[in-house]
Amino acid sequence: MAAIITFAQRKGGAGKTTLAAHLAAGWALAGRRVAAVDVDPQGSLARWGELRGGLAGAAPLPVAKVSGWRLALELERLRREAELVVVDSPPHAELDARAAIRAADLVVIPVQPSPMDLWATQATLEMARAERRRALLVLNRIAPRTRLAQEIAATLGAGDVRLAATTLGNRTAFASCLAYGSSVEEDEPGGAAAGEVLHLRAEIEDMLRDGAGRGA
């Protein structure tokens, strides 16, 4: 049975689409059968997927654009077809974001290191809690030696929430290769950005294995 991983965060621009694209591409590159779903009407992940379709040598990765009443059905269909389903959810469309969280085995929540971003994260964590989903906070665009441990610990609160050991730096590589359908692990293997994505993938895989062990 496949796992559905939903990238969610009510705060706009936190890195949902960026993380979803790089992780999905990384898993595809590693030979996993991955499907991606773009729930956001902005359609950025789907646009990346289209560019990727024309990119010679890119690891295969279908990206579907789905929203509204078809979403839950489509996610269950993909769960039967793929090993990993990566879902990019919109910042504001409450109903679709909630449906994407409800279907998820794990909700990954990118957070940028600012008080506003941390505060906004509460709303997303509430959604994950209300749907009894496990959540993983990932610090994104973080400067070296950022000290946020206390603020983040306060944000985590109750529920099944973890803070990822992997953090992602503020790196132009994350943005630049998306512009032509690629990803950091494909473009700059061995680079710092690729290393971060690889670690985060391993961390998420561990969490999914744990969850399966617990019958989640």
Q: Which residues bind ligand ATP (CB under 6 A)?
A: 9, 12-18, 40, 91, 140-141, 168, 170-171, 174-175
17 sits near Mg ion (criterion: CB under 5 A): yes
> Can you say whether residue 32 is alpha, beta or left, with left for phi > 0 and alpha for psi between -120 and 50 degrees?
beta
CA 82 to CA 4: how far, in whole Å?
9
Residues 124 and 10 sit within 8 Å (Cβ to Cβ): yes
Nearest CB to ligand ATP, comparing residues 23 and 34 = 23
CA 97 to CA 131: how far, in whole Å?
12
Residue 6 touches which of ligand ATP, Mg ion, none (Cβ within 5-8 Å per kind):
none
Backbone angles phi, psi at 111, to 5 degrees: -135, 130
Nearest CB to Mg ion, comparing residues 17 and 167 = 17
CA 210 to CA 149: how far, in whole Å?
24
CB of 203 to ligand ATP, least distance (A): 16
Q: Which one among 10, 11, 16, 52 touches Mg ion, defined by CB under 5 A?
A: 16
CB of 90 to ligand ATP, least distance (A): 6
CB of 151 to Mg ion, least distance (A): 24
* Vertex 78 angle, CA 75 and 84, to 5°: 100
Size of the site for Mg ion (CB under 5 A): 2
Q: Which stretch binds Mg ion (CB under 5 A): 13-21, 49-57, 154-162, 168-176?
A: 13-21
CB of 192 to Mg ion, least distance (A): 23
Backbone angles phi, psi at 167, to 5 degrees: -120, 155
Residue with the two structure tokens 């590589």:
173
Nearest CB to ligand ATP, comparing residues 121 and 140 = 140
